[in-house]
Amino acid sequence: MTDFFQDQPLRIAGHAFTSRLLVGTGKYKDFDETADAIAASGAEVVTFAVRRTNLGQEDGPNLLDVVPPERFTLLPNTAGCYTAKDAVRTCKLARELLDGHKLVKLEVLGDDSTLYPNVVETLKAAEELIRDGFDVMVYTSDDPIVAQELERLGCCAIMPLGSLIGSGHGIQNPHNIRLIIEHANVPVLVDAGIGTASDAAMAMELGCDGVLMNSAIAHARQPVLMASAMKKAVEAGREAFLAGRMPRRQSADPSSPFAGRING
């Protein structure tokens, strides 16, 4: 942010963040690229997945050495879960893995080809996790009624998709994102679908509290450079939202005065 303006931090479940860009750790070439991209993004919240340990293989570096829990707020996800039951199990494993950490990203998917959220299972899982003491940031569709229901259950952030996970199609229904923001009393973050910097800026200009992305950075030709672009896009979009855009006009309105023209 510019030095004449100090933004409020992004507050989620008792945490306060300066950066409004949250990033994933998937799809990178190696851990060096992961670390460099995260550093360039300025992200403070970093998502990861929970998977079976490969038994009997060489000890490789561990992701948690690249994004140490002492330096980042880690956000374990439930990617790959298709039922509430599996998502709840995964969150409990993540809590054990991170010594009692309560913040999770809940996503319960509908099918392999769209990775669209199964909102019925998502609602079930959210209810159970919140009852068990988890702070739930929830990936959901861009349905404003579902968003309100997830908030009513106690989710600490609502994260509608802009478009399909990994598609890079940007924000397909900005009107729905606006509707969700207008009715929400918890942070709203676009999660999924961001393709390039202008998509991230658009999310923030709509009034989102933050943006979560992975593929847009990791699958860019130069991931570290794109991470830097995304940092600026999220900041620019946030400042533009707070500044308030000029009204749209039907006719032109010259920026230079008419008075004093040499042909007047």
Binding to other proteins (CB under 8 A): which residues in 79-118?
Answer: 79, 89, 92-97
Binding to other proteins (CB under 8 A): which residues in 178-217?
Answer: 212-215
Q: Which of 13, 35, 49, 240 binds other proteins (CB under 8 A)?
A: 49
Cβ-Cβ contacts under 8 Å for 78 (sequence gap 6 or more): 50, 86, 87, 90, 91, 104, 105, 106, 107, 108, 125
Among candidate residues 85, 105, 231, 232, the one labeled active-site is 105
**Candidate segments 26-34, 120-128, 234-242, 251-259, binder of other proteins by CB under 8 A:** 26-34
In the block, tokens 């794109």 appear at: 226
Pairwise CA distance, residues 87 & 77, whole Å:
9
Which token pair is 70?
């002492």
Cα dist from 201 to 109, 157, 178, 205, 239, whole Å: 27, 19, 14, 6, 10
Site for other proteins contains 71 (CB under 8 A): no
Which token pair is 166?
């990994």
Q: Which of 20, 24, 136, 190 binds other proteins (CB under 8 A)?
A: 24
Pairwise CA distance, residues 144 & 184, whole Å:
9
Site for other proteins contains 41 (CB under 8 A): no
- 105 catalytic? Reply is yes
Min CB(263)–other proteins separation in Å: 59
Which token pair is 11?
């507050």
Asked if residue 215 belongs to a known ligand binding site, the reply is: yes
Q: Which of 27, 178, 183, 232 binds other proteins (CB under 8 A)?
A: 27
Asked if residue 192 belongs to a known ligand binding site, the reply is: yes
Q: Which of 9, 16, 62, 71 binds other proteins (CB under 8 A)?
A: 62
Min CB(7)–other proteins separation in Å: 25
Residue 248 DSSP code = P
Pairwise CA distance, residues 128 & 147, whole Å:
17
Pairwise CA distance, residues 190 & 192, whole Å:
7
Interface contacts to other proteins, rule CB under 8 A: 23-28, 34, 47-53, 55-56, 59, 62-64, 74, 76-77, 79, 89, 92-97, 165, 212-215, 218
- Point out the residues that are catalytic: 105
Binding residues for 1-deoxy-D-xylulose 5-phosphate: 166, 192-193, 214-215
